[in-house]
Structure 1
Amino acid sequence: MTLLQMLSFADTGWGMALLKAALMTLLLTLAALLIGALVGSVIAAAKLSRRRVWRWLGDAYSILFRGIPELLLIYLFYFGGASVVSAAHHWLGGDGYVDVPPFLVGAIAVGLISASYQAEVYRGAFIAVAKGELEAALAIGMGRAMRIRRVLMPQIWRYALPGLGNVWQMSLKDSALISVIGLVELMRASQVAAGSTHQYFTFYIVGGACYLILTGLSGRVFNFAEARVQRTQRRNPAQS
Structure 2
Amino acid sequence: MLQGYGSTILDGAWLTVQLALLSMAVAVALGLLGAAFRLSPVKWLALLGETYATVIRGIPELVLILLIFFGGQDLVNRIAPLLGHEDYIDINPFVAGVGTLGFIYGAYLSETFRGAFMAIPKGQGEAGLAYGMSPVRVFLRILVPQMIRLAIPGITNNWLVLVKATALISLVGLQDMMARAKSAGDATREPFTYILLAAAVYLAITSVSLLVLRYLERRYSVGVKAAEL
User: TM-score interval w.r.t. the shorter chain?
Assistant: over 0.9
1:144 matched residue in structure 2: 135
In structure 1, the residue matched to 2:5 is 14
Residues in 1 aligned to 2:81 and 2:40: alpha-carbon distance in whole angstroms = 42
Residue in structure 1 matched with residue 61 of structure 2 by the alignment:
70
Q: Which runs of 5+ in 1 are unaligned?
A: 7-11
> 1:53: Cα distance to partner?
2.2
SS in 1 for 2:4: coil
Query: How many residues get paired?
Result: 229
- The 1-side partners of 2:28 and 2:157 are apart by 14
**Structure number with higher relative contact order (C-alpha < 8 Å, ≥ 6 residues apart):** 2
CA separation in 1, counterparts of 2:85 and 2:129? 58
Moved over 6 A (4+): none
Q: Which of 100, 104, 115 is the matching residue for 2:106?
A: 115
Cα deviations by residue, 1:80-134 (Å, 9 ceiling, x for unpaired): 2222232233334444432100011111110011111100110011011122222
Q: Does 1:43 align with 2:34?
A: yes
Secondary structure of 2:149's counterpart equals helix
SS at match of 1:231: coil
Do the aligned partners of residues 94 and 138 (structure 1) sit closer, same or farther apart at CA in structure 2, a change above 3 Å counting?
closer
The change in CA–CA distance for 1:93 and 1:53 in structure 2 (over 3 A counts) is closer
Equivalences for residues 49-128 of structure 1 within 5 A: 49-128=40-119
From the superposition, tell whether residues 177 and 137 of structure 1 become closer, same or farther in structure 2 (CA, over 3 Å): same
TM (norm. structure 1) is 0.89
Instruction: Determine the C-alpha separation between the residues in 1 that align with 2:104 and 2:173.
Output: 20
After superposition, give the CA deviation of every residue in 1:195-234 in whole Å (9 maximum; x if it has no partner).
Answer: 1111011111111111111111111110111111112656
Corresponding residue number in structure 2 for 1:216? 207
The aligned amino acid for 1:110 is L
Aligned partner (choices 6, 17, 23) of residue 32 of structure 1:
23
* Paired-residue identity, %: 36
CA distance in 1, matches of 2:130, 2:82: 59
